[in-house]
Amino acid sequence: MNPSPAPLPVLITAGFLGSGKTTLIRELLPQLATGSRKPFVLLNDYLNAEIDASSLRGLGAEILTLPASCVCCDDSAGLIDAILKIPTDPPALLMIEANGTTDPYRLIEVLTLTRSLRQRLGPIHQVTVLNESRFGKRLLPGDKRLEQAQVRTASAILTNRSERASPAQRQRVREALMELNPRAPVLHLEAFANLLVEETPLLSPDLTDPPEHVHHHVAVRFPLPRMTIERLRTWLLMLPRDVQRSKGVVQISQEEICYFQRTDDPFESPNLHTSLIPDGFESTAVFIGHGLQESSLRATLESPAFKIFSLSP
């Protein structure tokens, strides 16, 4: 029997247009190319994907392009197909440069919920690159929400254009980042490169991930047991505050399943939708947030408050 291919670790680079995402990748590639994993870079940009690709070629990585306005909405099929075509030998690592308008929650959901990717992908990390002189100054409500989402889902935050920001603006940025994501380290390029090489499993051929490094992960996925819809609703409301978004599907009766989604907005009820069990159904849940641990999330299924709604055998 042939051994299973090594899981493919993923590093998402998020940030608005002009924040410095491509520059970050250009600086990292020479270091990553000397490791035991071959780097693959997937660029998503409606207009500039090929231009950015040309600036990265010759740095020891395979460059892939997806000329769509949003990799997770307009061309998720292209994203999935590109990932599945990455060779399994030698072991690889994937860097995804997301379009500046990409919703990081949606991208992480595509990577974690797509059945064909479940056995292919390893840990998912995200670095958010932000322009200190512009952070917190966006006028459109949608841009403000996206800016905050990019920070909240980050494993690490890379500040850029700091010399253009006043001391007062830099202080406001630090305070905002601490409020939005207190666990993500705020770093400059050299410090982030060291963190990536020394403190994550991205370069390890066996993807060993010590417990002390679990805080770098931004998504956790595991199957759920059958439960009633009342039990599901109770459990979703009990999830830790670190869970920023949960989404999945679970069996609730002999004939029915329930699709669910919940954000961390305390005023928003879980979104539940029932359906008949389709062919090939698999129960699964994905949790997005910084500092998540699978063991802690699984333990919520064993809490007394949750068990009172147990489904009778």
For 171-202, what is each residue's pLDDT tens digit? Answer: 998 999 999 888 888 887 667 766 665 544 44
Q: What pLDDT shows up at residue 310?
A: 47
Q: What is the mean pLDDT of residues 167-171?
A: 89
Domains 8-216 and 220-307 share a fold: no
Q: What pLDDT shows up at residue 306?
A: 61
Choose from 56-70, 109-123, 166-180, 199-213 the range with maximum mean pLDDT. 166-180
Under the banding of pLDDT at 50, 70 and 90, the label for residue 312 is: very low
Q: Is the peptide bond before 90 cis (omega within 30 degrees of 0)?
A: yes
Under the banding of pLDDT at 50, 70 and 90, the label for residue 204 is: very low
d(CA 143, CA 281): 36
Is-contact 255 236, C-beta < 8 A?
no
Choice among 57-71, 100-114, 160-174 with the minimum mean pLDDT: 57-71
State what percent of residues in the chain have pLDDT above 90: 12
Name beta bridge partners: 136.
Answer: none
Q: What pLDDT shows up at residue 84?
A: 92
Compute how many other C-beta atoms are within 10 angstroms of the C-beta atom of residue 171. Answer: 11
- Which amino acid is located at 260 in the chain? F
> Tokens 């000329």 identify what position?
67
User: What CA–CA distances, in Å, run from 31 to 11, 42, 197, 234, 248?
Assistant: 15, 18, 8, 47, 37
Residue 197, H or E segment? helix 189-199
State what percent of residues in the chain have pLDDT above 70: 81
Q: What is the mean pLDDT of residues 306-310?
A: 53
Q: What pLDDT shows up at residue 307?
A: 59
Q: What is the mean pLDDT of residues 218-240?
A: 88
- Has residue 117 got a pLDDT over 50? yes
**Superfamily (CATH) of domain 220-307:** CobW-like, C-terminal domain (3.30.1220.10)
Three-state DSSP at 95 gives strand
Three-state DSSP at 80 gives helix
- Has residue 308 got a pLDDT over 60? no
Q: What pLDDT shows up at residue 96?
A: 92
- Has residue 212 got a pLDDT over 50? no
User: What CA–CA distances, in Å, run from 192 to 46, 129, 195, 200?
Assistant: 28, 11, 5, 11
Q: What pLDDT shows up at residue 94?
A: 93
More confident residue, 6 or 254: 254
d(CA 71, CA 66): 7
Q: What pLDDT shows up at residue 85?
A: 92
The CATH number assigned to the domain with range 8-216 reads: 3.40.50.300
Backbone torsions φ then ψ of 101, nearest 5 degrees: -100, 5
Q: What pLDDT shows up at residue 279?
A: 77
The DSSP code sequence of 130-155 is EETTTTT---SHHHHHHHHHHHHT-S
Tokens of 118: 């479940």
Q: What pLDDT shows up at residue 47?
A: 58
Q: What does the mean pLDDT of the chain come to?
A: 79
**How would you label 48-64 residue by residue, b for 16+ Cβ within 10 Å and e otherwise?**
ebeebbeebeebebebb
pLDDT digits (tens, 9 = 90+) for 242-287: 888 888 899 999 999 999 988 877 767 888 989 888 877 888 888 9
Single pTM value for the model: 0.73
More confident residue, 55 or 255: 255
Three-state DSSP at 97 gives strand
> Tokens 């601490």 identify what position?
178
Is-contact 190 202, C-beta < 8 A?
no
Q: What pLDDT shows up at residue 134?
A: 84
Q: Where are the domains of the chain?
A: 8-216, 220-307
